[in-house]
Amino acid sequence: MIEVSNLVKRYGSLVALDHFNLNVQNGEIFGLLGPNGSGKTTAINCMLSLLTYDKGEIKLFGEEMSPTRYDLKKRIGVVMQNVAVFNELTVYENIDYFCGLYEADKAKRRQLVDEAIDFVGLNDFRKFLPKKLSGGLLRRLNIACGIAHKPELIFFDEPTVAVDPQSRNAILEGIKKLNQDGATIIYTSHYMEEVEQLCSRIMIMDKGKEIATGTKDELKTMIRTGEKITIEIYDLPEDILAKINDIDDIVNAEYDDNRLTASCRINGHALISILDILRKNNLSFGRVFSEPPTLNDVFLEITGRQLRD
């Protein structure tokens, strides 16, 4: 569906994309992750032929993409992070306008607009102006404008920013439904749990390059950190903490704010060993949590920084 080869994009002395490569298969929900400034948006804009680039090749649907390939653009939907609708038009009129960029037949367009409104759950708001909508409903309108023409390839850039949990769930379920109906989706988000929930494969990029690509489980095997153990404990002497750090399967153990937090090695299981040490030293403890590594752990170890840095 998407083939990007050795893509280079410069802004003066700044290299925004440094021989960037990407392959997305038909029917995937592909997650694109990276810190702010990593090149995600630049890569997407180049794929959409909204930006020129210095070197490389971009193919969509197996054909070379260019600014004048309107036959390919007709098969693409875009939902960007910033809401892009006309404040003077109603919900229905906005969707009808954007759908009209792809579909000239009025009868067909009317059907597509009705289906899009139904899909995002805006039937009760058809005659509302955007300023009358909540943030979550406005996001849904933005999505409807981008997908009303039933594109085969859809780019979602931060579609759930600043929305309430109910609207977020509705948006995520809608994206799953679009994929089930045959759309291939490129998805960027700062919410790691969304990417874990939605995406069949994920690329982590930084400084304009691919750092790692794979399923969420494949990515988790690329780091040294495995299970994370948290134990509520009122007091933990330093010598006992040192003994816990000496456990073979422990990467690092810290004690702060009445909590012991221990990171294990991949496939390591240190919980029983930790509890044995606490019991032998007559240390009482409260709740115990054990959780597998998350995509956020992968991101932090691979890039060395938070997603929002």
234 part of a folded domain: yes
Tell me the residue range of the domain where 94 lies: 2-220
77 part of a folded domain: yes
Of 119-133, 192-206, 284-298, minimum mean pLDDT range: 284-298
Same domain, 11 and 80: yes
CATH number of the domain within which 269 lies: 3.30.70.980
Query: What's the rounded Cα separation, in Å, for the pair 72 and 87?
Result: 29
Tell me what percent of the residues of the chain surpass a pLDDT of 70: 98
Same domain, 142 and 235: no
46 part of a folded domain: yes
308 part of a folded domain: no
Q: What's the total number of domains in the chain?
A: 2
307 part of a folded domain: no
The one-letter amino acid at 2: I
Same domain, 174 and 109: yes
Residue-wise pLDDT tens digits, 28-75: 999 999 888 889 999 999 999 999 999 999 999 999 999 999 999 999
pLDDT for 267 equals: 74
Of the three residues 170, 197, 220, the one that is the final residue of a domain is: 220
CATH number of the domain within which 36 lies: 3.40.50.300
Same domain, 236 and 135: no
Query: What's the rounded Cα separation, in Å, for the pair 120 and 127?
Result: 15
301 part of a folded domain: no
Non-local (6+) Cβ contacts of 120 within 8 A are 140, 141, 143, 144, 170, 174
Same domain, 127 and 238: no
Residue-wise pLDDT tens digits, 199-244: 999 999 989 999 999 999 898 888 777 888 999 999 999 999 999 9
Same domain, 124 and 187: yes
Same domain, 180 and 82: yes
Same domain, 149 and 271: no
Same domain, 155 and 276: no
- The sign one gets for the Cα dihedral 54, 309, 255, 226 is negative
Radius of gyration of the CA atoms of the chain, in A = 24
Same domain, 45 and 102: yes
Non-local (6+) Cβ contacts of 128 within 8 A are 90, 91
148 part of a folded domain: yes
Output the CA–CA distances (angstroms, integers) from residue 166 to 135, 160, 188, 249, in the order listed: 11, 11, 20, 40
Same domain, 176 and 38: yes
Given a cut of 90, is residue 81 above it in pLDDT? no
Non-local (6+) Cβ contacts of 137 within 8 A are 122, 125, 167
Query: What's the rounded Cα separation, in Å, for the pair 150 and 144?
Result: 10
Residue-wise pLDDT tens digits, 149-185: 999 999 999 888 878 888 888 889 999 999 999 999 9
64 part of a folded domain: yes
Given a cut of 80, is residue 304 above it in pLDDT? no
Same domain, 204 and 133: yes
